[in-house]
Chain A
């Protein structure tokens, strides 16, 4: 933590303000000015041009009665919770790499992890689309070969889901009940290179001798993880959590690319960011989109605050 400072000392150290001034000025000018324009426009009936009409809180009132907006918040909440679990594999791999005896391998694994960062998103999209393709895709062939499909169809008939049928390929991105599961499955095994390297950083202070001592004491690897490793990377986990929450709540690129601006079958893939995009660029309701943005902001602010308040582990 930064050192508390007395007012007198602060007065003496006034030159410190000069250090923060350029950053603050740049951010205020180039990030705040455009954003404040969005806040301002959330009170207008505005189509993105130069004509606008002040409507007070009408956009916000409309948003509160907008069932699509609220169901999109439900969808994004599910996705955020899923994303929390999707952080686990990165932690797991980090711990695994760190526990390796060979320093050389530890180094090279880290190097290899960074390579995919230069690949354009286009390629990843191509691969995953093929994975989910109902007719020629990998997922459906696996399901068919392993005979899981029959099980799913039987379950379906028993429970009456109306999702899986014996005579039709499973349309992962085309069925409202499967869109959210498919979005969750997307990116398996959910390894984020930057995340892994960050967790490895936290683990750095555990030397091999600690593992050996732990082993001599008869502590199993799960306990090692729980009592030695996890507490050390908890701060990194919390930070990734903040960045993940912000990123997933604002994000809609994947949904837009895969499902289109309407959120796909049954609107099941509609998330607040996509609805904002839809209203602005499909319906030309920029003022309303700005209002959705403000509501989203308050939502993110609240979640970040909760995260800051409650997900805090003492070292």
Chain B
């Protein structure tokens, strides 16, 4: 096959991809509809939204004061939220990696028991868990403190992350661990030098998922914190959402402003995140 033929073959292949692109664009368009709505609603007043819910207004009718309002609403909570979300995500992953290493490395005595203990909790539906949890935190003197939020985030994310990470670490070639062991590496060193570099992408993925969860949570801050200057961002958002006749423009603007930090992180770590989710993510 000559190179000219090869090129024309490749071109033909790309042309044959055209219907695939069409289907994908069709699906993506539906998936992006909520995002489009969020953006176009964020510059409308309730009146203009009610009059014209589906189509964007002309730029000269944009109500950018919604964004200012959103920013003012979010701003006082930013420091608390960043503190809780970063500490929580970091602590959650650190512990989950250690535990996953335990399950993935050797089949230690009792490890099946421990594994079942963790998995069962994922299947238990929560009915009236909040009151006992609250009393527990109270007896531990953790109420009205950001640490309560952090500890709950760490504890709450363990099972899911261990569930995924374990499979991931098991996929790492044995030889790497054995070579490290030969060099006299302790378990912690093996985790630092083998596990983390090899599963960087999935760790990135889990961290963004955890981060998003803590970022938007409103229930726990409301219930556990007394001082309003300790509240996190989700509380501010739920105040808007909870009104009877919602001001959709302000809600959307606030959500958009609140997601800007996430978008910034996301843009810079995009490769990490996408590759993380995709490069062999969950293996059972």
> A: which residues have CB within 8 A of B?
1-5, 7, 9-10, 13, 15-17, 19-20, 22-24, 26-35, 37-38, 41, 48, 89, 93, 96-97, 99-102, 105, 107, 109-120, 122-124, 126-127, 130, 188-189, 191, 193-194, 197-198, 200-202, 204-205, 235-236, 238-239, 246, 249-250, 273, 276, 280, 286, 289-290, 292-293, 296-297, 300-301, 304
Contacts and interface: CB of A to CB of B under 8 A. Distances in A.
A200 B34 CA distance: 23
Contacts of A239: 167, 282, 284
Contact of B17 (A26, A100, A191): A100
Interface string B96-131: 101101111111110100100110111111111111
A239 B31 CA distance: 23
A99 B152 CA distance: 42
A122 B210 CA distance: 21
Contacts of B82: none
B4 interface: no
B113 to A, nearest CB: 10
B249 to A, nearest CB: 12
Interface majority SS on A: helix, strand, loop or mixed?
A: helix
Nearest to B106: A5
A198 B282 contact: yes
Contacts of A105: 21
Interface stretch (B55-63, B66-74, B223-231, B269-277): B269-277
A20 B24 contact: no
A202 B174 CA distance: 20
A30 B41 CA distance: 40
Contacts of A99: 17, 20
28 contacts: A1-B170, A2-B107, A3-B106, A10-B109, A19-B101, A20-B98, A20-B102, A22-B99, A23-B99, A23-B158, A27-B121, A27-B155, A30-B133, A30-B155, A33-B132, A35-B126, A38-B126, A38-B127, A100-B17, A101-B14, A107-B274, A114-B273, A116-B35, A120-B241, A120-B252, A204-B279, A204-B280, A292-B127
A109 B284 contact: no
Contact of B212 (A96, A117, A304): A117
Nearest to B33: A127
Nearest to A98: B278
Given A27-B121, A111-B274, A188-B30, 12 more contacts: A2-B105, A19-B99, A23-B98, A27-B155, A34-B132, A116-B34, A116-B35, A201-B282, A235-B284, A280-B128, A300-B123, A301-B120
Nearest to A200: B278
